[in-house]
Amino acid sequence: MRLKLFCMITSALVLAIWSAPVVAQSHLDISLEDYLKEVGPRAKLVPKGKLVIDGKRKYCGNRPTVMDPKFDSWGGAYPGFVILNPERLKGLPTTVKFYVYAHECGHQFVGRNEEAADCFAVKRGRRYGWLNAQGMAQICSFISKLKGDGEHDAGTVRCEKMRVCYRDAATRASSTPN
């Protein structure tokens, strides 16, 4: 029931503002089991460590991912799990897909702070070698079109803040494809 109410409110907001955020994170916490029960068979649960995006395995600690083709944004995060909308991710550059996932994963570690989740994603990308200057440009091109809302800065502002995180992040070789 809480999810249906959340979806109704979110749908109204999306209709009012085209620039739906990269993260559609609810202020109502819902368990993984309740989310799956609410959305029914349309969603697919991907166990921790089993998510593959464009041929690369992705991890978010011990958290599973729900692939929900009707989710109202590219991705979302609830405590304990990440949501991706495979339909909205189609056609995006691989680096942008990785960024969306890493941003949502970041919420698992930094909470609801959008700027911190953006920085988490950028630093993770640099650390694990999937984010370079060209990829940063792709992410900024993607995100700069978003107008922002009560939780998200405008995309151009987010991009500038992420570029600072990118410059500050160290790269390192890793055997973990993250």
Per residue, what are the HEC states of the chain?
A: CHHHHHHHHHHHHHHHCCCCCCECCCCCCCCHHHHHHHHHHHCEEECCCCEEECCEEECECECCEEECCCCCCCEEEECCEEEECHHHHCCCCHHHHHHHHHHHHHHHHHCCCHHHHHHHHHHHHHHHCCCCHHHHHHHHHHHCCCCCCCCCCCHHHHHHHHHHHHHHCCCCCCCCCC
Mean pLDDT to the nearest integer, 97-115: 96
Rg (CA), the chain: 15
CB 88 within 8 A of CB 74: yes
User: For the residues 94-118, what does the mean pLDDT come to?
Assistant: 96
In a domain, 136, yes or no: yes
Q: Is residue 107 part of a domain?
A: yes
Q: Is the pLDDT of residue 8 over 90?
A: no
Tell me the whole-structure pTM to 2 decimals. Answer: 0.80
Question: Is residue 161 in some structural domain?
Answer: yes
**Residue 67, strand partner residues:** 44, 84
- Confirm whether 176 is domain-assigned: no
Q: What is the pLDDT of residue 28?
A: 62
Which structural domain range is residue 146 located in? Answer: 2-168
25 in a domain, yes or no?
Answer: yes
| pLDDT > 50? residue 19 | no
- Is 64 contained in some domain? yes
Statement: residue 161 has pLDDT above 90: yes
Q: How confident is the model at residue 137 (pLDDT cuts 50, 70, 90)?
A: very high
Q: Are the beta carbons of 105 and 60 closer than 8 angstroms?
A: yes
Residue 173 within a domain: no
Residue 178 domain-assigned (yes or no)? no
| Number of domains the chain contains | 1
